[in-house]
Amino acid sequence: MATSAAVEKQVRTLDEATVRFCGDSGDGMQLAGTQFTNTSALVGNDIATFPDFPAEIRAPQGTLAGVSGFQVHFSSKDIYTPGDTVDALVAMNPAALATNLVDLRAGGILIVNSDAFESKGLDQAGYETNPLENDSLKNYRLYPVAMTKLTRAAVDGLELSQKEKDRCRNFFAMGLVFWLYDRPLEPTQRYIDDKFGKKPEIAQANTAALKAGYHYGETVEAINTQYHVPKAKLAPGKYTSIVGNTAVAYGLMAAARLSGKRLFLGAYPITPASSILEELARHKNFDVLTFQAEDEIAAMAATVGAAFAGAMAVTASSGPGIALKGEAMGLAVMTELPMVIVNVQRGGPSTGLPTKTEQADLYQAVFGRNGECPMPVLAASSPADCFDAAQEAWRIAVRYMTPVMLLTDGYIANGSEPWRIPKLSELKKIEIMHPGPSVNGDKFLPYKRDERLARPWALPGTAGLEHRIGGLEKQDITGNVSYDAANHQHMISLRATKVEKVVNDIPPQKLDGPPSGDLLVLSWGGTYGACATAVHNVQAKGKAVTHCHLRWLNPLPKDLGDILKRFKKVVIPELNLGQLRTIIRAKYLIDAVGLNKVQGKPFSVGEVVDKIEALLKGDAKDTEAKAEPIDKKAPAKAVLEKVAHGG
């Protein structure tokens, strides 16, 4: 690393910072964000990320619809969210500036590729005049950088087309931001060598652009301060940066190993769940079978078949796919076979917002099948937590012989955080019993239950246990088809009771804050980070508020009813219109208040803080989070107006 700065620069130490890279979806912003994240993790910061990209792979270049962004929050303290506002914004074109400026804090660093601010680009972004040339950006520390020209100069002489040369711009931007936040280039250099090893010209060009960006930061006089964010104090251990979907895949693989099973994944490609299929497909030498089915229905049906065959059977999808799987999930409930159904929730209904996050599939998970069709449901709270939640899902599935649904969401599926890598030997074994061959010729009773009401998992190939299962109502104990009225009522109750018994495996609910008081914040799933941070912020101001975050949504923890009664008010922040709130109100008859947001985005900490403070002041109405201006024709104008009004 070059250390001799040509210009005298100050170094300031910060507790934390948030950076966002944004540009056209072809500008490589996801890569820039990922590299910055990994490097920040490697230097020992705590991290939380928020990749945000359009559903279109390549919307028309330069348009507002095509803007892709990646936000990284890195810190020397524990953090749980990618940050409400941005300290430094890198905008590769006018459209990216127009759509992202709103999140840059006043006085924040704004680095723009000034070469992209020409008439066409400005026009597409809705700018009538060039914002770099008037004083509309005066509230920010604006650094216009001729990134296109500088990148071209850096790669000059390499045998590459103009297009290929320009594609290195994201590495220039990375290099500059790496300098700005005092990050090493080596991890990115390793990435380049690894990724482009077979294309040495491209590797060379990216390296040159990366270094040019870094040196530009070092030498250009305008940028006179470098920032340093020290290491975070994490628990001792070996760490890596992990995204939620990889953590799900790893958790499933660990669970398969811990239970001595082959892992079978039946899946159909769907955003934002596909990378679970892709990750598992890479690990066939772990006895992992991945079946890309012809559709979601087949993926679920094959999962049922694989469960019958004796594998650890899993399917992974998102809302629209889960809807298609509904009937086969009913078969799984009726046949009482263990399997895991992962729903990486996205914005709905219908196709909805495929690349955006939401928590609106809770009703679907708990109730969304025909008939009385109970299924245990749990939700992961963060990217790394997906690893534990996946194992937990399988443990419950086999203990109770039931399909289990694991909810995650687009935000934690794509977001990353540091993960303390466990040793396989530290993880709890998952015991599974299969009945052996019949020796005395007694008739096998496939629906005879143990104390948990779980039926035996008898595998095809076991002599003497031949039996037939299916979707028709079962006679208790024998499993034969039965249309008997009393038997149906009995079986419906049995299946419901069995799922309720899962509560015995749910540990007492943890509370963050006093055990009773004025206000309880009750949350579930991927909103953990925002809610935990908001509660900590309010607690730090000396106010009494308690946080209760649910892992299990069905059944709910045994002690939840008592906990709820100990608080005067309960607020439930959710990225839906109040689905957990409805369930809580119905089950515990308490008047819970909602904070509800359905904008395809996670909660900001500020939104939850505001709600908590309003409730502490006595305002007990349900609220919906405020949306940003929806006038997409002139967002730049709206943003400029907001800026002009000091927003």
Partner 1 sequence: MTVELPVLKPADFASDQDVRWCPGCGDYAILAQMKKVMPNLGIPREKIVFISGIGCSSRFPYYMNTYGMHSIHGRAPAVATGLKCVRPDLHVWVITGDGDGLSIGGNHLMHAIRRNLDLNIVLFNNRIYGLTKGQYSPTSPLGKKTKSTPMGAIDNPLHPLSVAIGCECTFVARSIDTEIKHLGEVLTRAAKHPGTSFVEVYQNCHVFNDGAWAYAKERESKADTTLELVHGKPLIFGKNRDKGIRLNGMDPEVVELGKGVSEDDLLFHDEKAPEPSLAYLLSRMRHEDGFPEPIGVFRAVEAPQYDAMINDQVTQATNERGVGDIDKLFASGDTWDVA
Residue 253 makes contact with partner 1 by CB under 8 A? yes
Cα–Cα nearest to 75, from 46, 48, 49, 50: 46
Of 251, 259, 255, 261, the closest CA to residue 310 belongs to 261
Among 31, 153, 203, 309, contact with partner 1 (rule: CB under 8 A): 309
Name the residue nearer to partner 1 (CB basis): 296 or 574: 296
Measured CA to CA, the distance from residue 314 to residue 307 in angstroms comes to: 9
In the chain, the largest separation of any two C-alpha atoms, in whole Å, equals 91
Q: Closer CB to partner 1, residue 48 or residue 608?
A: 48
CA–CA gap between residue 343 and residue 403 (Å, rounded) = 13
| Cα–Cα distances in angstroms (integers) from residue 294 to residues 41, 287, 351, in the given order | 39, 22, 19
Amino acid identity for residue 334 in this structure:
M
CB of 241 to partner 1, least distance (A): 7
Angstrom distance (rounded) from CA 133 to CA 463: 82
124-183: which residues touch partner 1 (CB under 8 A)?
A: none
Binding part of the chain for partner 1, among 127-135, 249-257, 447-455, 589-597 by CB under 8 A, reads 249-257
Question: CA-CA distance, 255 to 600, in Å (whole number)?
Answer: 31
Residues β-bridged to residue 317: 343
For residues 331 and 305, what is the distance between their CA atoms, to the nearest angstrom? 11
Stretch that binds partner 1, among 95-103, 163-171, 330-338, 505-513 (CB under 8 A): 330-338
Of 116 and 249, CB closest to partner 1: 249
Calculate the alpha carbon distances from 367 to 48, 537, 590 in Å. Answer: 32, 35, 21
Among 480, 516, 537, 582, the residue binding partner 1 under the rule CB under 8 A is: 480
CB 474 within 8 A of CB 334: yes
Q: Of these, 239, 268, 528, 552, which contacts partner 1 (CB under 8 A)?
A: 239
# binding residues, partner 1 (CB under 8 A): 72
Q: Which is nearer to partner 1, 466 or 591 (CB)?
A: 466
Please list every residue from 276 through 295 that binds partner 1, using CB under 8 A: 283-289, 291, 293-295
* Cα→Cα distances 236→233, 420, 600, Å: 9, 8, 35
DSSP 181: T
**Among residue numbers 185 through 224, which ones bind partner 1 (CB under 8 A)?**
187, 190
In 10 A of CB 190, how many CB atoms?
Answer: 11
Q: Could you say whether residue 303 binds partner 1 (CB under 8 A)?
A: yes
Among 123, 327, 372, 450, binds partner 1 (CB under 8 A): 327
* CA–CA gap between residue 636 and residue 618 (Å, rounded): 37
Write the binding mask 567 to 606 for partner 1: x where contact by CB under 8 A, - elsewhere: ----------------------------------------
Q: How far apart are CA 435 and CA 553, in angstroms?
A: 31
In whole angstroms, how close is the CB of 420 to partner 1 at the nearest point?
A: 8
**Exposed/middle/buried for 429, CB within 10 Å: 0-12, 13-18, 19+?**
exposed
Select the span of 22-30, 204-212, 253-261, 516-524 touching partner 1 (CB under 8 A): 253-261
Shortest reach from residue 427's CB to partner 1, in Å:
9
Per CB under 8 A, contacts with partner 1 among 418-477 are 421-424, 460-472
Q: Does 333 bind partner 1 (CB under 8 A)?
A: no
Binding mask 21-60 for partner 1 (x = CB under 8 A): -----------------x--xxxx----------------
Q: Which is nearer to partner 1, 463 or 630 (CB)?
A: 463
Stretch that binds partner 1, among 232-240, 340-348, 512-520, 568-576 (CB under 8 A): 232-240
CA gap 392, 376 in Å, rounded: 11
Q: What is the closest distance, in whole angstroms, from the C-beta atom of residue 295 to partner 1 in the complex?
A: 6
248 near partner 1, rule: CB under 8 A: no
Q: Which is nearer to partner 1, 46 or 84 (CB)?
A: 46
